[in-house]
């Protein structure tokens, strides 16, 4: 399993295995079953994950959710780029306003 971050909007999952921290598990425990592996749960009923939440997914599951999750590494790189170039969007809007 690999660490991912939910991006853009809420993500709904209905089945499969998911890795959660204890706090995330406590909020959703009535919809999950524990597995032999610590921190990994089987989804029994639909769960909702908010944008920004970090989760563990297997690679095959993450491929089905492209555009909904980013690997932690890619997410960190995106945040780094945004912090290095603050205000780029404002510059584009100002240029278009002059037209």
Q: What is the pLDDT of residues 48-65, one digit of tens each?
A: 999 999 999 887 776 667
pLDDT at 79 > cutoff 70: no
- Under 8 Å between Cβ of 41 and 32: yes
Domain-wise residue ranges, the chain: 2-97
Residues 6+ apart with CB under 8 A from 21: 39, 54
Q: Can you give the pLDDT at residue 19?
A: 96
Query: pLDDT tens-digit profile of 14-37?
Result: 999 999 999 999 999 999 999 999
Question: Which pTM was predicted?
Answer: 0.72
Say what percent of the chain tops pLDDT 70: 79
Say yes or no to pLDDT of 44 above 70. yes
3-state secondary structure of 34: strand
Q: Mapping DSSP to helix (H, G, I), strand (E, B) and coil, where does residue 36 land?
A: coil
Cα-Cα-Cα-Cα dihedral of 4, 7, 23, 73, to 10°?
A: 30
Local confidence band at 67 (pLDDT 50, 70, 90 cut-offs): confident
CB 17 within 8 A of CB 32: no
């Amino acid at each position: 399993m690999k660490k991912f971050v939910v991006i853009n909007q809420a993500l709904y999952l209905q089945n499969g295995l998911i890795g959660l921290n204890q706090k995330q598990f406590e909020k959703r425990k009535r919809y999950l079953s524990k597995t032999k592996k610590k921190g990994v749960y089987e989804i029994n009923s639909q769960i909702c994950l908010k944008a920004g939440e970090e989760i563990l997914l297997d690679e095959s599951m993450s491929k089905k959710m492209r555009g909904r999750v980013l690997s932690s590494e890619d997410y960190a790189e995106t945040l780094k780029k945004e912090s290095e170039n603050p205000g780029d969007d404002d510059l584009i809007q100002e240029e278009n306003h002059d037209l």
